[in-house]
Amino acid sequence: MTVAIDVAKISLTYGKVSVLKDVSFTVNPGEFFVIIGPNGSGKTSLIKSIAGIEKPQHGRIDIMGRPLSGYGRKALARKVALVPQTAPADFPFTVAETVLMGRAPHLGLLGLESESDLKIVRQVMVFTGVAELADRKIEHLSGGERQRAFVARAVCQSSDIILLDEPTASLDLAYQARLMDLMEALKNDRGATIVMVSHDVNLAALYADRLLLLKDGQIMSQGRPADVLTYETLEKVYGCTLLVDQSPLGDFPRVTLVPGKFNPFAGSG
């Protein structure tokens, strides 16, 4: 079974700043893989590197067994879809038109869509719950609705791998849950490989098959949530007092932040 994503010893520097140092890991097909870590740990750079938008100076990334550099842009887009952290707010198109653009890697020169493309778009819009927003303009939507539209667009790319960079960052609780469920459904129903960057450790724990914990561009831990989310590892990485126990929802770790006033062991001041 070919590994979906094989990251081998990549290092990325911007000018003098080193954002990724000798990072290696693999993602299996059909896996829900979540990358967590504090700000500045290189999570976004890592996702962008996998998407082919950033080019690490050292190391290699293989997608579905072929080196990333061996893919043409369009061919890569048919394999990997990206939902970046920020979506343009002044985008003049409607939701339907936006989602339709997701078919771009499969279209010819003028991007003339066929009936089958439109069918796919209709299905995806229903699947992702944006069908009722179809004729609304993106610029008139709330942040959460906009995000869902762009996620739908990524799903339309019909790619094997979907990368998401902090997709729940600006969403309401309800939408956060819906998005995660959507990704889970994509994984289960369509066999998609999901790689998500998240700042929400608990949500990650509930859904991820495997976690990758980054700090300062280096891997601190990877594996099943229960193995990665331990008190020692997390305290070292996040530098604060945390309580790790079992979630009431099942066999998942639950991480609780312990701020100063609850912490009898915190230093004074």
Partner 1 sequence: MTARPNKLLLRMAVVSAILLVTLVAALLMGLSLGSTHAGFDAIVKTLRGHNSSDPMLRAIVWHIRLPRVLLAALVGAALSAGGLVFQALLRNPLAEPYILGISGGSAIGAIIGIILGFSRFPGVTVMAFAGSMCTLILVMIISSGQSILKKDSLLLAGVMVNAFCSAVIMFLLSITQDARLHNIIFWLMGDMSMTDLKQVGILSAILIPGFILIFCLSHAMNLLLMGREMAMSMGLRLKTITVTLLVATSFMVSATVSHCGLIGFVGLVIPHLLRMVLGPDHRVLVPACILGGGAYMVFCDLLARTLPQQGEMPVGVITALIGAPLFIVLLKRSNR
Contact residues toward partner 1 (CB under 8 A) are 48, 51-53, 73-78, 80-82, 84, 86-88, 90-93, 96-97, 100-102, 104-105, 107, 109-115, 117-118, 121-122, 125, 131, 134-135, 150, 157
CB nearer to partner 1: give 138 or 204.
138
Tokens of 109: 């020169």
CB of 98 to partner 1, least distance (A): 8
CB nearer to partner 1: give 57 or 86.
86
CB of 13 to partner 1, least distance (A): 14
| β strands within the chain, DSSP E | 5-14, 17-27, 32-36, 58-63, 66-67, 80-83, 161-165, 193-197, 210-215, 218-223, 242-246, 253-257
CB nearer to partner 1: give 91 or 231.
91
CB of 93 to partner 1, least distance (A): 6
Q: Map residue 268 onto helix, strand or coil.
A: coil
Q: Map residue 154 onto helix, strand or coil.
A: helix
Best CA proximity match to 207, nearest among 184, 230, 175: 184
Q: How far is CA 244 from CA 1, 33, 219, in A?
A: 35, 21, 20
Tokens of 171: 């969403």
CB nearer to partner 1: give 61 or 100.
100
CB of 54 to partner 1, least distance (A): 10
CB nearer to partner 1: give 70 or 111.
111
CB of 225 to partner 1, least distance (A): 28
- For the chain, the residue count is 269
Q: How far apart (Å, rounded) are the C-alpha atoms in residues 154 and 77? A: 10
CB nearer to partner 1: give 97 or 145.
97
Q: Map residue 42 onto helix, strand or coil.
A: coil
CB of 156 to partner 1, least distance (A): 10
